[in-house]
Chains A and B, each alone.
Chain A
Amino acid sequence: MWEIKFSGFGGQGIVRCALITGKAVALYDDKYATMTQSFGPEARGGACQSQLIISGSRVLYPYCTSAGVLVALSQEAYDTYEPGLADGGILIIEEELVKPKANSSRVKLYPIGATRIAEAVGNRLFANLVVLGFFSAITGAASADAMKKALPGLVPDRFLKANLQAFDKGFEHGLATASQTNGAAQ
């Protein structure tokens, strides 16, 4: 079972990340997925988060009790939600927007310059898809194939190709990072 929290500030595509992943897992990876999101005034501009539970059997409790993965795309989101990440959990951050604590060894830290990569693809708005590609490669919680199938309908048609490119860039970066990390561990 995966308990995943996507977080950042409103407008970064945080909820969209969880929607894409949830749809990918539920419809194309043939697992159970339950997605919830912060809602209301607190979600506009401030810290925004979305939770996704993935399981081989029906999800009962719909919220994270001890998140195994945290994606934090803003400092405020990192500060707010990092303490809720389980020991040894996977922490994915946008490296230009989040400065992690000096001693982050409690968790497995994976920084990515998603905004810069997205700009190279054509627009920084695709940063969330770069993050999703990276997330898919690092965690394996949702397959790249399923994630790509989930995109139509959740991103504008005219930007589908660019979003797919952004996802691929993030995914490649994730594979490279994962192999380096594994190499270092060995």
Chain B
Amino acid sequence: MAEFPKIVSADPKGVLTGRHFMDGDHALAEGALAAGCRFFAGYPITPSTETAERFAERCPEVGGLFIQMEDEIASITANVGAVWGGKKVMTVTSGPGFSLMMETFGLAAMMEVPMVIADVQRGGPSTGLPTLTAQQDMMQVRWGSHGDYRIIALVPDSPQECFDLAVEAFNLSEIYRVPVFIMTDETVGHMHEKVVIPPAEEIKVVERNWYTGPKEEYRPYKFDGKHGAPMVKAGDGYRFHSTGLTHDERGYPALTAEDNKKLLTHLIQKIDNNADKIIRVEESGLEDADIVVVSYGITSRIAIRAVQVAREQGLKVGFLRLITVWPFCENKIRELAGRVKAIVVPELNYGQIVLEVERAAAGKCKVISVNSCGGAVHDPEEILTAIMEGAK
């Protein structure tokens, strides 16, 4: 059996080693290129367009292919096809485009296609606030396509993390054969900060799990609830089939309740059973906290300010930043809820991830939502007020 996951150093051709003053959108493109992404079909939409532009500009240097498609549906579908052609792929979009791509996200989950999608979130619903920030697609990414499935979603809080998490997103997608989402936002996307891109040999990249056995024994699927089957390239002489219909391990339609149970359980378990390995959080001051602020992305930077002020006033406030939002760190929240007075959840939406926090807290502590209609980041005072309320 081949070594899995096979970890190699990044291809230096795609790595722009050095110190840069760069925005989050460009850093996403650089992270993708460093991770080995060489195909990008997309359709421009504010505030994500800069990622597509950067990728297109860099393609000739790295031997990649960029295609501007006729719309978002075509874009995401071309990416699915390119994965079966052997490429690592990414696309970026924002609210309206994200909605259009939803059906194919389900197809990608069903076909177990490793791919990375970034949603540079803007205010919605509909065309909403094209140029202004929000975090309103956090539940849509989890539940937006029909049927039961699992995905992974990461949320960067800075241009540096756009780079770092793009690499990680590709690695996770290859390990679990699953679409991985980077749920950034307009503020981080358009914000310039220092981005350090390490030398190629320091960037660890997970290679596609290529099948190496006899051709006649190849099966494109393996419902093991772990990582799934190794992959092949279309056109390399392997006989395989892949479909959105419920299928067996050969990939052929198998349309019974039992078949669906085998397949679906696998899609769900490969993420749920590995959640501890996938989930990353940043935390501080949780040991003796009375109140914990749970946040993610740009909002977590605003939250730290409020936490600092509250600590200066003598309150025991812990800070938990979700770097991985899906799968959700429910064990962590459950444990905290058992020993703190309150959990405060600021987010740039009308209360989405707070619902998960409430579910995991299960009434054991107060959960305070600091919601927003998007369009601008919080005033730290709003979060401070909620912390004070939690301390009562």
Contact = CB atoms under 8 A, between A and B. Distances in A.
Interface of A: 19, 22-23, 26-27, 32-37, 39-41, 59-63, 150
Contacts of B190: 36-37, 39
Contacts of B193: 26, 32-35, 59
Interface in B249-303: 298, 301-302
Contact of A39 (B20, B47, B194): B47
Contact of A61 (B19, B21, B192, B305): B305
A40 B131 contact: yes
B21 A36 contact: no
Contact of B302 (A34, A60, A150): A60
B305 A27 contact: no
Given A26-B21, A60-B304, A60-B305, A19 B46 contact: no
Contacts of B20: 27
A63 B377 CA distance: 9
B131 A62 contact: no
Nearest to A34: B193
Interface in B178-207: 186-187, 190-194
With most chain B CB atoms within 10 A of its CB, the pick from A40, A41, A60 is A60
5 contacts: A33-B193, A34-B192, A39-B186, A61-B380, A62-B377
Interface of B: 19-21, 46-47, 130-131, 186-187, 190-194, 298, 301-302, 304-305, 377, 380
Contacts of A33: 21, 192-194
User: Of A35, A59, A62, which is in contact with the most chain B CB atoms at under 10 Å from its CB?
Assistant: A62
A45 to B, nearest CB: 15
A37 B190 CA distance: 8
Contact of B19 (A27, A32, A36, A41): A27
Contacts of A39: 47, 131, 186, 190
B301 A60 contact: yes
Contacts of A59: 193
B304 A19 contact: no
B18 to A, nearest CB: 9
Contact of A36 (B46, B191, B301, B305): B191
A40 B46 CA distance: 9
Nearest to B22: A23
Nearest to B308: A60
A22 B21 contact: yes
A59 B302 CA distance: 10
Nearest to A154: B21
Contacts of B298: 62
A33 B21 CA distance: 9
Contacts of B186: 39
Contacts of A60: 301-302, 304-305
A63 B188 CA distance: 12
B194 A62 contact: no
A61 B301 contact: yes
Contact of B187 (A19, A27, A62, A150): A62
A46 to B, nearest CB: 13
A39 B375 CA distance: 13
Contacts of B187: 36, 62
A40 B130 contact: yes
B301 A19 contact: no
A26 B194 contact: yes
Given A36-B187, A62-B191, A23 B21 contact: yes
Given A22-B21, A26-B21, A36-B187, A61 B47 contact: no
A60 B157 CA distance: 10
